[in-house]
A and B are shown apart, each in its own frame.
Chain A
Amino acid sequence: MSKKVVVETTINGEATEFLCEPRQSLLEVLRDELELTGSKEGCLTGDCGACTVIINGRPTCSCLVLGVEAQGKKIDTIEGLARPEGLHVLQRKFLEHAALQCGICTPGFLMSAKALLDRNPSPTEAEIRYALAGNLCRCTGYDKIVRAVIDAANTLSGARAA
């Protein structure tokens, strides 16, 4: 086991320092060291997307990133999505559309969808499905998830137009 390393990052807007072993993944650091257990583990091989966080604006499987690689990066996790004023529109739409059953995939989908809407505020259904194809959901058949994201995008663009 090699020595722990100090890593300086910004997590959900807060400057955050943590200690981690070089072999620990960012997901493990978030969950086990920082107690941010909202990011989930489904595979550890980059195939399910349950661990998705946004690193410097890009949706990323945190299981494929080492904790030490977070040095100097800006990381957004599910814990930072809601504001004190209320839920993010994606979170609201997921609830209204019943876009979750067991909910284990939900944090990952929300982060992937947020990264999509940040970069493309009015995606087509095909673009949404493409952007979410790295996230597996075994419960819903995706139908309600896709509808929720479409509705969230419409709500956001409606708010911008107004």
Chain B
Amino acid sequence: MAAATDERNFKVIGTRPIRHDGVDKVTGRARYGADYAFPDMLHGKMLRSPYAHARIKSIKVDKALALPGVKAVVTSADFPELPDKMEAAGEAPVNLAHLSENLMARDKVLYDGHAIAAVAATSPHIAEEAVKLIEVEYEVLPPAMTVEDAMKPGAPIINPKLRNKEEGDKPTNVAAHIQFKRGAVEAGFKEADFIVEREFRTAMVHQGYLEPHNAVAIYNADGKSTIYTSTQGSFAVRALASAVAGVPETSLKVVPAEIGGGFGGKLTIYLDPIALVLSKKTGHPVKMVMSRADVLRATGPTSGSTIRCKMGCTRDGKLTAAEIWMAYEAGAYPGSPVGAGAMTIIAPYNIPNMIIDAYDVVVNRPKTAAYRAPGATNAAMASETIIDELAEKCGIDPIEFRLKNAVKEGDPQTAGPPYKRIGFIETLEAIKNSPHYKSKLEGPNRGRGVASGFWFNVGMNSSAVVNLNADATASLVIGSVDVGGTRAAQAMVAAEVLGIKAEDVRPSVADTDTIGYTDMTGGSRTAVTTGAAVFMAAEDAVRQLKERAAKRWEVKPEEVAYQDGVLSCGDKRMTIKEMAAQFARTGGPISGRASINLRSVGPSFATVCVDVEVDTDTGKVKILRATCAQDVGKALHPSYVEGQMQGGTAQGIGWALNEEYVYDDRGNLRNFGLLDYRMPTCLDLPQIETIIVEVPAPGHPIGSRGVGEVNIVPPPAAVANAIARATGVRMTELPMSPPRLLKALLKKRGSADTQVAAAGR
């Protein structure tokens, strides 16, 4: 791979062309998963558990099957039993038994909404009626809804087979305990002049993508099948759906439809193998689309959590020690992002002495899935508000406090090798020097808060093909789905290397039979890894162009230079256009390709500044102004980078103020619609200012870091810090919704009143 090109003058990268799939998307022509239809297609619907925890005693489907129009009903009996251990499947090890049981319960249902059976019928309405005719007998069991419930002695055991290393053969709800340690914690706290310790709770929240999950499956008589679906990773769907359905992996082709948002929630599967087995059973194409209620009840939100965080610093603001205990709700099966939470919680700071204990805990809620920097936002709510409080105690500006402790190249990460070149300090400086931070905030009950965040980003595998056309335009084929500007950004990378215009590259996202293996669009990896693959595929095409020219000019290929679309050697010159027109006569078509595995990528930092106004009568918080500064390495298409930063900030604000899963004491979700699961509207948000920081990632041909995730990490803590500065109340629970904040305000007022009364006496 080429060396980092910090000083390179990019011609296309960094500009803002119109996205290639734009016209399709503003005219309603783009085809999302739910837009696919085929002749003779059936519609599938799912029966879901009304209980949070119950044993399934029997399922009777004959009445449903007897309804005219119903073609098949499937239950777990129609799916193979899979091994209860971690196995490689697609991009990461997966416990296939858990995956399969989550999609179709076997002997127990583990959360409200857990799938039990599916019906295929000639219309979605008939399928829905048939679902109501399925008779299930349950033995209802007590649920464990929170980590506290699930960890206490005598708690209902959710998965009887679950064990962890520390408890030996004892059934448990604790799937894992992870620990990180450095230095001598007790001694570290002795050095501290100030210590703050608090306990935090954050609510389970959903990614909230606007498009419900969907899948259309077609099983052919020859055993080959195709699935059309909106997914972040078509190769992951191929691996996971084939395993759950019990068909050979490569007998399945997955066609990625346009995708209406994912944010991590569409990295895994729900409907795909169910539709496939229904198709196999009926011989028809089968389409399944979730309702919004199903999305909220039964697809993976991210973990709620309990975090106890204690940190100490010297009078002049040097952090000396941290002691952290954190437990995350995994949902019904193991796999919360608590490990990532532990590795990110103090990642931005040099703290010589620390201990972090992290617990992955199963509860009777849907199995959690990835959500934008999974685990890091919960964690930052704890650490970044404590840092703010320490800064306040020291009388130091919160940005200065962070600058005193910020990590830079060579400093240790929580786990793993020391940081390479990173841009945390640059994001702090960017906010410090921003018009926002320099402006005065005046008025009653107003406050300004800042917070920072860290995220790893991942590399993994990508493939790309660049085909030159005879008119010197190019087609670009990638396997990374386009969740928000991928085609445009990747076409720009190809155009940069080929020395042509972005508009002259036609990008397409290919299915699993058409492009080499490509991991998911997730982990902020697409711009980085697929970007590197496209860069190298285009370089491969350029190499071939040079060889052609060399042959023609009877020189060595190394003697041929290529710049801005012109081949040259001494005084000989030829444009890519002239060369392209002669492909057929000079050795055939030119097609560049690259398939790569990127191991290490540059991590990202973001710092967010928020101004709030608190209505002290109602507890409602108004966001007056928000600015996000993020190190992206190198922005490919700045508009879409800004869009990621704004979108992540907005999601973080929703998490901060409104969003939460509300379960009643029987474990039923009470807010399974978008009116009650309240995401921010445009009336709830101001314009969101962005500052793109570019500290190139070492070892990457363009210098890109991921852009998609870290921006969601700081906002909840930044809002909490702003509320503290506006009202003097330190919030330790998310969301900081009006009732919760009002309660805290009244409590403070009450104690102030008592003090006043006491002083008056």
Partner of A133, one of B650, B651, B682: B682
- Whole-angstrom distance between the Cβ of B370 and the nearest chain A Cβ: 15
Alpha-carbon gap, A103 to B22, bound state (A): 9
Tell me if B682 and A146 are in contact (CB < 8 A): yes
- Asked whether B643 lies within 8 Å of A91 as measured between CB atoms, the reply is no
**How far, in whole Å, are A39 and B126 apart by their CA atoms in the complex?**
23
Are the C-beta atoms of B485 and A138 separated by less than 8 Å?
Answer: no
Tell whether, in the assembled complex, residue A94 and residue B643 are in contact, meaning their CB atoms are under 8 Å apart: no
B78 at the A interface (CB under 8 A): no
> Which chain B residues lie closer than 8 Å to A32 at the CB level?
37
Digit string of B1-40 for contact with A (CB within 8 Å is 1, else 0)? 0000000000000001011011101111111101101000
Closest 10 CB pairs of A and B: A38-B28, A104-B260, A101-B484, A141-B650, A103-B25, A141-B646, A98-B639, A47-B674, A78-B28, A142-B682
Cβ A40 vs Cβ B647 within 8 A: no
A104 to B208 alpha-carbon distance, docked (Å): 13
Render A107-150 as a binary contact track against B, CB cut-off 8 A, 1 for contact.
10010000000000000000001101111111111111111000
Contact A102 B650 (CB under 8 A): no
Contact between B211 and A98, CB atoms less than 8 A apart: no
Task: Kindly state the separation between the CA atoms of A135 and B683 in the bound complex, as whole angstroms.
Answer: 10
B439 at the interface (CB under 8 A from A): no
B259 with A102: CB separation less than 8 A = yes
Q: Is the Cβ of B292 less than 8 Å from the Cβ of A137?
A: no
Complex-state Cα separation, A45 to B682, whole angstroms: 19
Task: Tell whether A100 is near chain B: CB-to-CB under 8 Å.
Answer: yes
Does chain B have a CB within 8 A of A73?
no
CB neighbors of A among B660-680 (8 A): 673-675, 679-680
Residues from chain B with Cβ under 8 Å of A147 in the complex = 687
B681 within 8 A of A: yes
Chain A neighbourhood of B16, CB < 8 A: 98
On whether the beta carbons of A41 and B212 are closer than 8 Å, the reply is yes
Q: B643 near A136 (CB under 8 angstroms)?
A: no
Report A25 CB to chain B, min CB distance, Å.
Answer: 11
**Complex: how many Å from CA A35 to CA B261?**
23
A40 to B289, CA, bound (A): 12
Beyond the given A138-B207, A143-B685, please list 19 additional residue pairs across the A-B interface where CB-CB is below 8 A: A37-B32, A38-B27, A42-B210, A42-B211, A42-B674, A95-B19, A95-B23, A98-B637, A102-B211, A106-B25, A107-B26, A129-B682, A133-B681, A133-B682, A133-B683, A139-B643, A141-B646, A141-B680, A146-B682
A6 is an interface residue with CB less than 8 A from chain B = no
Interface residue B138 (Cβ < 8 Å from any Cβ of A)? no
Cβ-based interface call for B125 (8 A): yes
Contact B674 A138 (CB under 8 A): no
A12 CB to closest chain B CB, in angstroms?
11
Shortest Cβ distance from residue B486 to the other chain A in the assembled complex, whole angstroms: 10
Is there contact, CB below 8 Å, between A146 and B687?
yes
Whether A102 contacts B260 by the Cβ 8 Å rule is: yes
Assuming the A-B contacts A23-B125, A101-B485, A142-B685, are A39 and B646 also in contact, with contact meaning beta carbons closer than 8 angstroms in the complex?
no
User: Complex formed: what's the CA distance from A100 to B26 in Å?
Assistant: 9
Binding site secondary structure of chain A: loop
Task: Tell me which of A31, A100, A129, A136 has the highest count of chain B C-beta atoms within 10 A of its own C-beta.
Answer: A100
Asked whether A40 and B260 contact (CB < 8 A) given A21-B125, A130-B683, the answer is yes
Task: Report yes or no: B260 in contact with A143, Cβ–Cβ below 8 A.
Answer: no
Whether the Cβ atoms of A103 and B674 lie closer than 8 Å is no
Q: What is the bound-complex CA distance between A143 and B648, given in angstroms?
A: 12
Distance in angstroms between the alpha carbons of A98 and B15 in the assembled complex? 13
Which residue of B has the minimal Cβ distance to A131? Answer: B682
Asked if A5 CB lies within 8 Å of chain B CBs, one says no
A130 to B684, CA, bound (A): 10
B598 close to A (CB within 8 Å)? no
Given contacts A38-B28, A130-B683, contact A98 B210 (CB under 8 A): no
Chain A 17-39 interface residues, beta-carbon cutoff 8 Å to B: 21, 23-24, 31-32, 35-39
Determine the distance from Cα of A32 to Cα of B125 in the docked complex, in whole angstroms: 13
**Residue in A39, A42, A145 whose Cβ sees the most chain B Cβ within 10 Å:** A42
With contact pairs A94-B26, A98-B639, A139-B643 given, residues A132 and B483 touching in the complex (Cβ less than 8 Å): no
Distance in Å: Cβ of B646 to nearest Cβ of chain A = 4
* B211: contacting residue among A40, A97, A145, CB under 8 A: A40
Interface residues of B in 283-329 (CB under 8 A from A): 289, 291-292
- In the bound assembly, the distance between CA atoms of A21 and B258 in angstroms comes to 29
A143-B687 contact given A42-B674, A98-B639, CB 8 Å threshold:
yes
Q: List 22 A-B contacts (CB under 8 A).
A: A21-B125, A39-B28, A40-B260, A42-B212, A47-B673, A81-B28, A82-B27, A95-B22, A100-B25, A100-B26, A102-B484, A107-B28, A130-B683, A133-B682, A136-B674, A136-B681, A137-B210, A138-B209, A140-B650, A141-B685, A142-B685, A143-B646
Nearest CB to that of B683 among chain A residues?
Answer: A133
Which residues of chain B have C-beta atoms less than 8 A from A96's C-beta? 18
Q: Is B569 an interface residue (CB 8 A)?
A: no
Q: Which residue of A lies closest to B483 (CB)?
A: A102
B263 CB within 8 Å of chain A: yes
A residues 62-91 near B (Cβ < 8 Å) are 77-79, 81-82, 87, 91
Complex CA–CA separation, A72 to B685 (angstroms): 39
Are A138 and B212 touching (Cβ within 8 A)? no
Q: Which residues of B247-287 have CB atoms within 8 Å of chain A's CB atoms?
A: 258-263
Cα of A141 to Cα of B681 in the assembled complex, Å? 8
A residues in contact with B483, CB < 8 Å:
101-102
A98 touches B485 (CB 8 A): yes
Q: How far is the CA of A61 from the CA of B75 in the complex (A)?
A: 35
In the complex, B640 has a CB within 8 A of chain A: yes
Partner of A140, one of B207, B208, B643, B673: B643
A145 to chain B, nearest CB (A): 7
Across the interface, which residues of B come within 8 angstroms of A138, CB to CB?
Answer: 207-210, 261, 263, 647, 651, 679
State whether the Cβ of B688 lies closer than 8 Å to any Cβ in chain A: yes
Answer yes or no: A153 CB below 8 A from chain B CBs: no
CA distance A37 to B257 in the complex (A): 14
Q: Measured between alpha carbons, how far is A103 from B30 in the docked complex, in Å?
A: 9
Find the A residue at minimum CB distance from B677.
A47
Q: Does B231 contact A (CB under 8 A)?
A: no
